[in-house]
Amino acid sequence: MTRKGRVWLEQRPPSGLWGGLWSLPQFDSHSELNDWLEINAVNPKRDTTSPSFYHTFSHFRLELPRSR
């Protein structure tokens, strides 16, 4: 979230379980995330000391970084 309270959302492809819904950007790797942050000039404050955690749904596994 930006200081102005804005959140970056992207519309998902029209097909599938969440077809057409707006969601946070998704990445398959940390390098893909870092590339996206650089391209979009986003400079997040990251806590590298806290490990991420996983939540498993019936059809995929989501990695969520911990933040303070």
pLDDT of 63: 75
pLDDT by residue (tens digit) across 5-59? Answer: 778 889 999 998 889 999 988 888 888 888 888 887 776 665 555 666 677 777 7
Angular region, 41: left φ>0, alpha ψ -120 to 50, beta rest: left
pLDDT of 45: 63
Structural domain boundaries in the chain: 10-64
List, in order, residues 6 or more apart from 62 with CB less than 8 Å away: 54, 55, 56
From the list 11, 55, 36, 22, the residue with the least C-alpha distance to 65 is: 55
Binned at pLDDT 50, 70 and 90, residue 3 comes out as low
60 has a pLDDT exceeding 70 = yes
